[in-house]
Structure 1
Amino acid sequence: MAKSSIAIVTDSTADIPLTVVEDLKITVVPAILIIEGRSYIDGEEITREEFYRLLPTLSEPATTAIPPSAAFEKEYRKLFDLGFERILSIHVASQLSGMINSASQAAQAFIDRVHIFDSRQLTMALGFQVMEAAAASLRGESFESVLEILHSTRERVRLIALIDTLEYLKRSGRISWLRASLGDLLQMKLLVSILNGVIERVGIARTKRKGISQLLAHVKTWGPLERLAVLHSAIPDEAALMAENTRHLSTNPPLIVDVTTVIGTHVGPKAIGFAGLCK
């Protein structure tokens, strides 16, 4: 019989560090990256370093795909076979991806034993929700209590990022307001946030230095933080310095997360940002 009766599942866009995934017994279903017609399993078949080295040289833009419902059904079945009674499957915002649709389709095979939860977030703003739910599950909390903690966490997470180049967001075509104002923004650094699953523009800067200043100012408005993560795409030294400079804002030491290639496809290299969990 499993130690906990509730299994926690997410997808690889949660960006949770592998050590945390293992410690909290989280199951991660990987998204799919498509590079020049070839499919790669996110986080397994191509390293992030390789991906960002390739990205500027590609003859056609890299794209992403959601895992098929069969991939979710396989993981759900494994967990039930291990003795879990319920599964809480927590995923990237439904406004940004079809991940929830795929998971929901798989859940139908198990009647009401799998509960699908829309995080309304991305990267570690999703990851923190998953971590809090997994920790509660390991403590032996009831399903209702874990779900209550999850709802509370969703209300308290924050996410903001500074995009170094808009080229990759433009290629993705994911943001309607960006298409309308692209001519005015091409030479700018763009500050974006996610609120209830919607990507919003919260600032622009002519230089990265000014953009970083705006980024830090926004993070400081979040108030006392329980958790903080510095998010980056292939700029580990800058991220480490940022973590050191913001250590005092959070009860727990900041995590440094090189965002998954599936997110990197849309934001491009040299992006940096924060995810936080407010107290």
Structure 2
Amino acid sequence: MEKIAIITDSASDVSLELLKEYNISLLPFRVFYQDKEYADRIELTPEMMYERLKDEIPKTSLPSTELIIETLDNLADEGYTHAIFITISQAFSGTYNAIRLICEDYDRLKTFVFDSRSLTMAEGALVVESAELTRQGKSFEEICDLLPKIRDNIELFFTIDTLEYLQKGGRIGRVASAVGQFLNLKPIITIPDDGKFSVASKVRGSKQAISRLENICREYLEKDKYKVWVLDGDAKEKAYELVEKIKEMPNVVECTYAGTIGASLGINTGPGLVGFALERVE
């Protein structure tokens, strides 16, 4: 009989409560400050990261090879027969390739490594959905076959207060070319199928940016039913307000405050991020 483990990296921003509820294994990114290394979301909470961001922008690195192998070994010892990894987009990290290479030589479990082509709760929605499918008794092959379709049903949109952190992190790319250096112009950022940041819209001022986010969400909800996860980067009050606005829209199956994003996205976007992931419900 199959016993299937779901594993994700901390870029998925799945809460510790959901990880525990669904028995999902976490591979935390490593966050390096001048004085110390931390395990993302385990030793370094999002709140701690944003507090320290005022003084220092840390570096991040993918989970270590030793941790990935240790996680697989522990699962095998616990009687698991299969493992499904869901990772941050290959465009943002080498995590997918690192895990895939390890799994090619690992024979204690049958494994499948899946690129979410996104991050934060767009990746997290895939993780939770996969865990739910294991609860429903779906087989390893069935879940693996369903993952591309689930991924195609998920979208992510967010706005940020400043381009400064994307620029410092070297991820400015298409966002800079689309937005330019115009005064107070706020981008609405999404991640299309290529797994890279792209500008969906741009408006003047933070209020207009939040309003545009609401309109984008409404446009989706007017067509189909969706689950929605609202997230923030040190901007909880704005996120709470967005949750209440979305709950009043049509076709909302569920709208949840997913929490503050961790270091994987947060150090590249800085404080002030507000956004949402949505998953079409069929």
Q: Name the TM-score class by shorter chain.
A: over 0.9
1:142-179 deviation per Cα after TM superposition (whole angstroms, max 9, x unaligned):
11211233222101000000011111001011232245
Is 1:126 the counterpart of 2:123 in the alignment? yes
Kept in 2, the 8 Å contact 1:232–1:258? The answer is yes
Larger mean CA deviation between 79-88 and 141-150 belongs to: 141-150
Picking from 142, 162, 167, the partner of 1:145 is 142
Q: What is the distance in 2 between the residues matched to 1:87 and 1:49? A: 31
CA change 1:185–1:177 in 2 (3 A) is: farther
Picking from 136, 149, 156, the partner of 1:159 is 156
- Residue of structure 2 in register with 1:247 after alignment: 247
Kept in 1, the 8 Å contact 2:231–2:258? The answer is yes
Q: What is the distance in 1 between the residues matched to 2:88 and 2:28? A: 12
Counterpart code for 2:261: V
Larger mean CA deviation between 169-178 and 205-214 belongs to: 169-178
Larger mean CA deviation between 138-147 and 183-192 belongs to: 183-192
CA change 1:62–1:182 in 2 (3 A) is: farther
Is 1:266 the counterpart of 2:268 in the alignment? yes
Q: How far does residue 89 in structure 1 lie from its aligned partner after superposition? A: 0.6
CA change 1:52–1:218 in 2 (3 A) is: same
- Residue of structure 2 in register with 1:256 after alignment: 258
Q: What is the distance in 2 between the residues matched to 1:50 and 1:100? A: 27
Q: What is the distance in 1 between the residues matched to 2:258 and 2:111? A: 31
Picking from 166, 169, 190, the partner of 2:166 is 169
CA change 1:30–1:186 in 2 (3 A) is: farther
Kept in 1, the 8 Å contact 2:31–2:59? The answer is yes
SS at 1:16 equivalent: coil
CA change 1:181–1:203 in 2 (3 A) is: closer
Q: What is the distance in 1 between the residues matched to 2:80 and 2:51? A: 41
- Residue of structure 1 in register with 2:21 after alignment: 23
Kept in 2, the 8 Å contact 1:69–1:105? The answer is no
Q: How far does residue 207 in structure 1 lie from its aligned partner after superposition? A: 0.6
Q: What is the distance in 2 between the residues matched to 1:69 and 1:10? A: 14
Q: What is the distance in 1 between the residues matched to 2:78 and 2:256? A: 33
1:170-221 deviation per Cα after TM superposition (whole angstroms, max 9, x unaligned):
1011232245467524632121100121211112222101111111111122
Kept in 2, the 8 Å contact 1:227–1:277? The answer is yes
Larger mean CA deviation between 248-257 and 13-22 belongs to: 248-257
Structure 2, unpaired ranges of 5+? none
Matches within 5 A, 1:48-127: 48-58=46-56, 61-111=57-107, 113-127=110-124
Kept in 2, the 8 Å contact 1:227–1:278? The answer is yes
The number of aligned residues is 275
SS at 2:197 equivalent: strand
Structure 1, unpaired ranges of 5+? none
Counterpart code for 2:170: G
TM-score w.r.t. the length of structure 1 is 0.92
Runs of 4+ in structure 1 deviating by more than 6 angstroms, as ranges, are none
TM-score w.r.t. the length of structure 2 is 0.91
1:5-57 deviation per Cα after TM superposition (whole angstroms, max 9, x unaligned):
11110111111122211111111110111223632110122232222122122
Q: What is the distance in 2 between the residues matched to 1:182 and 1:34? A: 30
Kept in 1, the 8 Å contact 2:174–2:197? The answer is no
SS at 2:191 equivalent: strand
- Work out the percentage of aligned pairs sharing the same amino acid: 27
